[in-house]
Amino acid sequence: MSAADLMAVLLAGHLRYDFTAPGHPGNDHLIFSKGHATPLLYAMYRAAGVIDDRELLSFRRLGSRLEGHPTPRLPWVDVATGSLGLGLPAGVGLALAGQRLGEVARRVWVLCGDSELAEGSMWEAFEHASYERLDSLTAIIDVNRLGQRGETRHGWDTAAYARRISAFGWRTIEIDGHDAEAIGHAYAEAAGTTDQPTAIIARTMKGRGVAAVQDAEGAHGKPVPDAETAIAELGGIRNIRVPVRQPAAAAAAREAPAGNGSRPGLPRYECGENVATRTAFGEALAAVGGAREDVVVLDGEVSDSTRTEFFAKAHPGRFFECYIAEQQMVAAALGLQARGWVPFACTFAAFLTRAHDFIRMAAISRANIKLVGSHAGVSIGEDGPSQMGLEDLALFRAVHGSVVLYPCDANQTAALVDALAATRGIGYLRTTRGSTPVIYPPGEKFPIGGSKVLRASDADLVTIIAAGITVPEALGAADALAADGIAARVIDLYSVKPVDTQTLRTAAEVTGNFVTVEDHWPEGGLGDAVLAAFANGHRPPRLTKLAAHTMPGSATPAEQLHVAGIDAKAIEAAVRALTPAPSSRS
Amino acid sequence: MSAADLMAVLLAGHLRYDFTAPGHPGNDHLIFSKGHATPLLYAMYRAAGVIDDRELLSFRRLGSRLEGHPTPRLPWVDVATGSLGLGLPAGVGLALAGQRLGEVARRVWVLCGDSELAEGSMWEAFEHASYERLDSLTAIIDVNRLGQRGETRHGWDTAAYARRISAFGWRTIEIDGHDAEAIGHAYAEAAGTTDQPTAIIARTMKGRGVAAVQDAEGAHGKPVPDAETAIAELGGIRNIRVPVRQPAAAAAAREAPAGNGSRPGLPRYECGENVATRTAFGEALAAVGGAREDVVVLDGEVSDSTRTEFFAKAHPGRFFECYIAEQQMVAAALGLQARGWVPFACTFAAFLTRAHDFIRMAAISRANIKLVGSHAGVSIGEDGPSQMGLEDLALFRAVHGSVVLYPCDANQTAALVDALAATRGIGYLRTTRGSTPVIYPPGEKFPIGGSKVLRASDADLVTIIAAGITVPEALGAADALAADGIAARVIDLYSVKPVDTQTLRTAAEVTGNFVTVEDHWPEGGLGDAVLAAFANGHRPPRLTKLAAHTMPGSATPAEQLHVAGIDAKAIEAAVRALTPAPSSRS
């Protein structure tokens, strides 16, 4: 209710939106960063005539698309919100699509709460938007003073917000958020402002218009105590239909070009070369960007490390430097994909943990984004644990509907980058800092959900399952064991999710014993992915999981693999421990 | 080298620190938020005489405590840094310990990089520190213009930083960071400032003093090209020993009181009552806080939901409202634990993903912090997926050395809160929004690493393993199956990590078949924890993993459990599918 006047004025006179054609390229965007204000958002849809009373009354019920917080199950919602501090950052991505990628510069209106200004992600967004001069972006800040459990830090001190936001390079306008004329003027001013985004900081009253809850604590997220009285106070039952301004006839606006399906000229590497998968990723991404004009890349100020610098050089217009602000990077990607772009957002695997909440929310948005984490695992060497991604597989496997890929060589990497760009949904690619030998010829196919059996015979006693940096170690172990008469199957499980269930089950039937080896904490990574293939009542193999069990320090990459117990020697020892004879218990 | 002058002046005249007694209560704190500047930090230790040249030359080598980024393996380091944007937020926690908890207000000096000012977490810290009037805190910002791959957003525009930081309520001082006199004045001014923290914004030059790298791009994190020349340019080999100001004789300062081990008067609940575990958590936390004066609590503006409001009311002096800034909340906890306090940091389980990177770094800090996530799982009901913690078990299991607890009833919750407070390290407690029946009597023991076998007989064909909200469902399923002549063992696996390996292995021997059931995504949670008990070459059971497989929407809690396939009916069906006879394959 605090934002009802703000939204009424927007809907009735400023938003340009063809609700019957949510894909119209000239439509403005409206994001509820305060996602809990769905009663207001859905009331706007009702007033616009695109939902009816029957549907409105399904609010928060099983099967209804009118969920407690908005999701893109509704065609007018670009990104799911409900985790505070996400909507404005995503709005920056939508505005970037309009202003940096040559689309029509639709306006992007974002309704923000005052509580969520405590989130650092909001300030990453303020900084990003002013740096990029996103004058199509307007933040409407509903300063109703009260958070869910009491007053916010700044209460009704709208000047405190204005000082901060204008210091971040935005135009700020302070208004009474219940003064329709002031609201309209502010929107007009925002629309007329060039070269900088605008924040309208509106002093409002929570529960406005209903005495029982107006400006009251303890009423957050609860129904009003007496609905009949509230309706009467608000003017009685009405059936308002608001005509909404139509978008400009911009149907010819440049959209994200569809992936044209032409195969990129992927880089080719010769077997036996030593190439870091991060380098192959960077070269492949630049190539994919040449073949697909819908691919855009975002980086967290580490493009020389992630190797997105190759893309930046080849396709500068589609490269976004996000500086060290991983939440904003992922949120901008989220906004860009909502306009049909295929974003790759890249930093060290370790630092993607910063954006975990936004990745989680991206799944709720049914988003199409690709995350790439470099410097995975202890094998980075001397820099130490703060720079090592050792939980990224656990993080990304536990994202609903995700694809998780972990290549071991350069040609495989290139093929997977191509596959990732072509596959809708949330995809994660894990790359390695140091060089690894090229073991696959150029052009080899690596389907998502597949694996490669690198060593196999009917005499195999054990299956070694590796991915990425541990594949060469597994091959080394298998060769040493073979020299000793112990046949070990080796599987390169490059697709950690979805996992190649059939190949794993066959290997279990033949060998009965598995050794998994991963440069990751023991929890949630490769070993668990392997076991997931059997978690539907299938008889699982005996399994020894090799993974990093101790906190690493600084050391050379080879020393790190050794200390973690994931090098060829450790694999060999684990296989020997499994092979002599099953233990008496089993 | 850009910050060498800043740190030289600090060490020689302003820092008060007894390097021979790092635990001295009067010692200042010095945090390198730009953790990659370890060569400078370790040179300071060398100048202070606490490490020698031999050790200095072990930098970044296997076994050395002089890691690439600082960790508390060094007694003078409070918190591990190296993920940018963490040191200042943690410094706020250290300053809170001094100023809010009645300790001596030591000074807290934090060396920050300019690149890391893009991280939203820094702005959460600026906001938190000024709100709490932390005048003991000084941020020294090394504006050397260059990030790792080129110029920062604002380059040498120190005024851009000053505008932002002063808008956030800090005193700001802009200086030439190579002017020793100006630096000294700034430190003195900071020390003399009351009621607000101070930021010293120092314009510096990267690689200062070595022509080959000075103010040059592409030299980040690399050795100088010619060490001999560099040494000569810097004045030749010297052997400087800097006398450091000693702390005030504040040995009698109030410290975090040691946990006195007296048993708190935990709340007691009667069997058959229905109580939400979040409520039991809140009541138990208040009780533990009464018995242990070292317990402090932080909340992300949801204390009415997490139920930390009970602690806040009982012990207001030890309660910290962090508003909606989860990274800052966890970082403040990190700072507080470095002073011996036992912090519980609490919000919705879903929103702890915001702080994932800080939780990861807390493990590298070997920190003693407790995280509590409420509103876990689909069972929260109507609010929808944005509010549901469905990846928290995966997140916390993949934290090195963590403890992960998930109680199913009120008495168990109370006991686990007590145990968590008494156990060093990173602990996570997962609570449930809705009420669950009390099934354990008051006073029952629940050791960390344990489990409870709730149903068992020698005739058991299947073991059902549940935790939290799914325990009552599992009991319901077992009862229905028993009525049908199918004996099912039921284990309450409240300690998800460490897991009760012995009980699980025994159950596997007896029944051979497991059904795990969890209100969580299938990856990284309870089912994987169960399998981990067998991942050391032990013969695993056949297992069917029940977990949330589809993206939830809004619905009642019971509907959510049903749709997710984790209610009693689903468990019963899974047991029946496993029991008739092993499949032909197995």
Contact B71 A563 (CB under 8 A): no
| Predicted pLDDT of residue A586 | 39
How are the residues of chain B apportioned to helix, strand and coil, as percentages rounded to the nearest 5?
Answer: 40, 15, 45
For B119, which of A120, A218, A397 is closest by C-beta distance?
Answer: A120
- How far CA A28 is from CA of A191, A289, A416, in Å, comes to 12, 28, 35
If you measure CA to CA, which chain A residue comes closest to B520? A398
In angstroms, the CA A327 to CA B514 distance is 39
Asked if B100 contacts B341 with a C-beta cutoff of 8 angstroms, the reply is no
Cβ neighbours of residue A127 closer than 8 Å, sequence gap 6 or more: A168, A169, A325, A328, B118, B153
In angstroms, the CA B5 to CA A90 distance is 41
Per-residue model confidence as pLDDT tens digits over B474-489: 999 999 999 999 999 9
Give A361's contacts in chain B (Cβ within 8 Å).
386
If you measure CA to CA, which chain A residue comes closest to B35? A386
The nearest CA of chain B is from the CA of A163 a distance in Å of 6
Asked if A171 contacts A193 with a C-beta cutoff of 8 angstroms, the reply is yes
For B398, which of A305, A521, A582 is closest by C-beta distance?
Answer: A521
| Predicted pLDDT of residue B255 | 62
In angstroms, the CA A328 to CA A489 distance is 44
The nearest CA of chain B is from the CA of A347 a distance in Å of 12
In angstroms, the CA B455 to CA B477 distance is 11
Per-residue model confidence as pLDDT tens digits over A547-582: 999 999 999 999 999 999 999 999 999 999 998 644
A:B CB pairs within 8 Å = 359
Per-residue model confidence as pLDDT tens digits over B473-527: 999 999 999 999 999 999 999 999 999 999 999 999 999 999 999 999 999 999 9
Bridge partners of residue B305, in order along the sequence: none
Query: Which residue in A388, A337, A387, A389 sits closest to A362, CA to CA?
Result: A337
Bridge partners of residue A113, in order along the sequence: A142
Per-residue model confidence as pLDDT tens digits over A381-408: 999 999 999 999 999 999 999 999 999 9
For B395, which of A73, A304, A395 is closest by C-beta distance?
Answer: A395
Residue A397 belongs to what H/E stretch?
helix A392-397
For the cut 50, the answer to whether the pLDDT of residue A101 exceeds it is yes
Cα-Cα end-to-end distance for chain B: 65
| Predicted pLDDT of residue B264 | 80
Give A166's contacts in chain B (Cβ within 8 Å).
167
Average pLDDT over residues B385-400: 98
| Predicted pLDDT of residue A219 | 86
Does the model's ipTM exceed the 0.95 cut?
yes
Asked if A552 contacts A560 with a C-beta cutoff of 8 angstroms, the reply is yes
What are the counts of helices (DSSP H) followed by strands (DSSP E) for chain A?
A: 20, 19
For the cut 60, the answer to whether the pLDDT of residue B544 exceeds it is yes
Per-residue model confidence as pLDDT tens digits over B418-471: 999 999 999 999 999 999 999 999 999 999 999 999 999 999 999 999 999 999
Query: Which residue in A340, A322, B395 sits closest to A331, CA to CA?
Result: A322
For the cut 70, the answer to whether the pLDDT of residue A251 exceeds it is no
Residue B21 has a CB neighbour count (10 Å cut-off) of 14
| Predicted pLDDT of residue A584 | 40
Structure tokens of A276? 């870091």
Contact A386 B540 (CB under 8 A): no
Contact B554 A60 (CB under 8 A): yes
- How far CA B452 is from CA of B105, B445, B467, B491, B529, in Å, comes to 47, 10, 10, 6, 16
| Predicted pLDDT of residue B254 | 53
Per-residue model confidence as pLDDT tens digits over A205-221: 999 999 999 999 888 88
Give A399's contacts in chain B (Cβ within 8 Å).
391, 521
Average pLDDT, chain B: 95
Starting at the edge strand found earlier in the chain, the sheet holding B427-430 runs B319-321, B295-299, B342-348, B370-374, B427-430, B403-405, B495-497
Question: How many Å is the maximal CA-CA distance in chain B?
Answer: 88
Give B401's contacts in chain A (Cβ within 8 Å).
551
Mutate to test the interface with B, among A357, A463, A514 (most CBs of B within 10 A): A357
Give B384's contacts in chain A (Cβ within 8 Å).
60, 67-69, 71, 82
* Three-class DSSP category at B95: helix
Tell me the DSSP string of A338-388: HTT-EEEEEEEGGGGGGGHHHHHHHHHTT---EEEEESBSGGG-TT-GGG-
Average pLDDT, chain A: 95
In angstroms, the CA B423 to CA A343 distance is 44
In angstroms, the CA B445 to CA B411 distance is 9
| Predicted pLDDT of residue B312 | 98
* Three-class DSSP category at B56: helix
In angstroms, the CA A202 to CA A179 distance is 10
Contact A152 B328 (CB under 8 A): no
For A384, which of B68, B542, B578 is closest by C-beta distance?
Answer: B68
Q: What is the CA radius of gyration of chain B?
A: 27
Mutate to test the interface with A, among B88, B391, B511, B521 (most CBs of A within 10 A): B391
In angstroms, the CA B431 to CA B441 distance is 19
Cβ neighbours of residue B68 closer than 8 Å, sequence gap 6 or more: A382, A383, A384, A387, A554, B36, B38, B60, B82
Q: Label residue A565 left, alpha or beta by phi (over 0 means left) and psi (-120 to 50 means alpha).
A: left
Catalytic residue among B119, B326, B518, B572: B326
In angstroms, the CA B400 to CA A339 distance is 39
Query: Which residue in A196, A222, A217, A223 sits closest to A205, CA to CA?
Result: A217
Query: Which residue in B176, B158, B8, B302 sits closest to A115, CA to CA?
Result: B302
CA A248 from centroid of its chain's CA atoms: 31
| Predicted pLDDT of residue A293 | 95
Contact B122 A124 (CB under 8 A): no
Active site residues of A: 326
Asked if B548 contacts B499 with a C-beta cutoff of 8 angstroms, the reply is no
- 3-class SS string, B334-393: HHHHHCCCEEEEEEEHHHHHHHHHHHHHHHHCCCCCEEEEECECHHHCCCCHHHCECCHH
For B123, which of A116, A120, A383 is closest by C-beta distance?
Answer: A120
